[in-house]
Amino acid sequence: MRWLRSYNSSQAVIPTAVVRRGDVRMQVYAQGTLKGGHSEMLVAPPVAGGPMSIKFLLDNGTQVKPGQEVLAFDTATQQYNLVQAQEALDQAQQQAIQAQANAAAQDLDDAYQIAKARFDVQRAQLQVQQNPIKAAVDAKKNDLALAAAQAHLTQLEKDIASRKAGNVASIAVQDAAVKKAQADAAMAQHNIASMTLVAHQAGYVSVMQNSSTNILFEGMQLPAYQIGDTVRPGQAVVQIPDTSSWEVDLSVSELDAGHLTPGEPVGIQFVALPGDTFAGKLESIGAASGPPWDRKVAIVASLDHPDPALRPGFSANAVITTGVLKDVLWAPSQAEFDFGGKSTVYIRRNGQFQRIPVTVVQRSESQVVLGGVAPGDILALANPEESAHAAAGARGGRSGPAAAVPASRR
């Protein structure tokens, strides 16, 4: 077994590739999912009274047209509030009518009282005119009677003015109560109407995940909203993407994202539609996220032409063409190695692999454009020094870093 391991290690095959000259399409590969663009969100209305219960909800993936009912909440509480508001409105209106009737009756009584007081003043004035022919005692009585009649008229005018102001204030209070009751009834009617949500654009129903659960743990798959679930005001329940403008959410490595520019062409293939390639373009590039050893950038690509066979959630494989380099030397990207912070390759010469420095002009996930090599050079796709170290270890020997390593032909 020791001899067999030594023999296999010494005969390790180093994969190679040939440097070629030609046009290179620099491409970035990405994976993602299909969704509709310009999504419309259906959100639980801001209705007071706590969470609302879903009474009606279209199934996930249902095609909808503008004006079609998609989602409805239970309106029992708001119906009760409407009845209460209408009863309060009726009562306020009756009280306003009563206040106006009382004010009108008071005005009639005040008019009678003021007319009678003025008549009393006029009669007292006629009695005073007889004072020259009256005894002094009777004349004095007439003067006192006139003064009393005038004082009563003055006081009555002040009282009437005060009562008029009070009646006006009372009517204003009742009118305010009527307006408040009308506002409450209108608000209840508005709440009832807002609890039925319709689509404003053509698309499909994408039911959101129910995040209202009190038990959450890492990796948990949240269920979608369904009839009977409770929703807090302001929570998004349904998303309606526009199927006339499909978009694909993609994820690329942070290294590849540095070569991307919005507007670059994208070829997209869907797992569910093998053999078909859909043309599109890169729309936006997001920020990097994730752990330092696996940083990813979210990008969005749009499709140039919608297709009725497409469905939301299709898994997509995209190829983004970042540019075309004419008449350059290129090799597979695995042929370039980093040695001490410098780009190097291993060229097979005279049966041995020699490490030489090179210049990287451009690289993609699968190809690297090099300077410092010649067409036809044979490059190692695996580090031959590491293979030599492994072979020496299997034989029980030692090996240090080497610039030339024997090459095994494939």
Rounded to 5 degrees, what are φ and ψ at 145?
Answer: -65, -40
pLDDT at residue 253, as a whole number: 85
Cβ pair 408, 11 in contact under 8 A: yes
Tens-digit pLDDT string for the chain (410 aa): 766 555 555 455 888 889 898 888 778 888 999 887 777 889 989 887 778 899 999 988 888 889 999 999 998 888 888 899 899 889 988 988 998 899 899 889 989 998 998 998 999 889 888 888 888 888 888 889 889 988 988 998 899 898 888 888 888 988 998 999 899 899 889 989 999 999 988 888 888 888 776 565 565 677 888 898 888 888 889 888 877 788 899 998 887 787 788 888 999 999 988 888 999 999 988 888 888 888 889 999 999 887 878 877 789 999 988 878 888 888 988 888 988 888 899 998 888 888 889 988 887 777 888 888 889 888 988 888 776 665 555 555 544 444 455 555 44
Helices 2-10 & 384-395 angle (0-180, nearest 10): 160
Residue 377 CB-half CA count within 13 A: 26
Cβ pair 330, 24 in contact under 8 A: yes
- Alpha carbon distance 245, 251 (integer Å): 20
Cβ pair 331, 367 in contact under 8 A: yes
Q: Minimal CA–CA distance to 20: which of 380, 382, 377? A: 377
Cβ pair 233, 47 in contact under 8 A: yes
SS3 223: coil
Distances (CA, A) of 376 to 13, 256, 362, 373: 20, 28, 19, 9
- Alpha carbon distance 218, 5 (integer Å): 45
**Predicted TM-score (pTM) of this structure:** 0.52
Distances (CA, A) of 49 to 72, 76, 189, 371, 375: 16, 11, 15, 71, 77
- Alpha carbon distance 99, 170 (integer Å): 7
Distance spanning both ends of the chain, measured CA to CA: 24
- Alpha carbon distance 322, 258 (integer Å): 10
CATH number of 25-74+224-324: 2.40.30.170
- Alpha carbon distance 219, 211 (integer Å): 14
The residues spanned by each domain of the chain are 2-19+336-406, 25-74+224-324, 76-192
Q: Name the DSSP letter for residue 14.
A: P
**DSSP assignments along 202-215, one per residue:** SEE-EEPB----S-
Cβ pair 266, 282 in contact under 8 A: yes
Say which CATH topology domain 76-192 has: Helix Hairpins (1.10.287)
Cβ pair 329, 24 in contact under 8 A: no
Q: Locate 117 and state its tokens.
A: 């007081």
Q: Indicate left, alpha or beta for 26 from its phi (over 0: left) and psi (-120 to 50: alpha).
A: beta
pLDDT at residue 198, as a whole number: 92
- Alpha carbon distance 108, 95 (integer Å): 20
Distances (CA, A) of 304 to 88, 124, 244, 259, 266: 58, 103, 10, 22, 10
- Alpha carbon distance 226, 238 (integer Å): 11
Say which CATH topology domain 2-19+336-406 has: 2.40.420
Is the sign of the CA dihedral 233, 238, 241, 243 positive or negative? negative
